[in-house]
Amino acid sequence: MVAKVMKDNKGFDESRATEQVMKLMMDTEMVSRFIAYEKKKADPDFQRKEREQQLTDPGVIALYAAWIVGGAGFAVVKNTYINPKFASGEWQEIHIQLPTPFWMDSV
C-alpha cells in the first residue's frame, strides 16, 4: 500500500506515505470504499462503462459546450471589437504606476 501511495504521489517520501496509509487504514468507511473501487477496477469493462457514462452525462456535455462557446465568443469579441479599437487609437493601454516601497527607494 505504501509503495502504491509513493508511486501515485511522486512528492511523498516513505515516512509521509506511511503516515497517509495509516490515516487511511484508521477510517473504515474509506477502506471499504477503496476495496469496492479496487474490485470494480478489476472488471475489464469498468473503465469503458465509466467513460461512456461521463460522455452521456448532460452536465459534462454542458460544461464542454460552455467552454467552446465561451472561448469562441471571446475570440470573436476580441477580433471584431477590441483589437480594432486599439488599432485605431481610440483606446489606449492602461499603465498603472505602483508606488515604490520605502525600503527599495535606495536600490
| Per-10-residue mean pLDDT, the chain, length 107 | 90 93 92 91 85 86 95 97 94 89 74
Give the span between the Cα atoms of 34 and 28, in whole angstroms: 10
Q: First-to-last CA distance in the chain?
A: 54
Torsion of CA 37, 42, 45, 49, to 10 degrees: 10
pLDDT at 99: 86
Domain boundaries, the chain: 1-42, 46-81
pLDDT at 15: 94
Given a contact cutoff of 8 angstroms between Cβ atoms, the answer to whether 85 and 91 are in contact is: yes
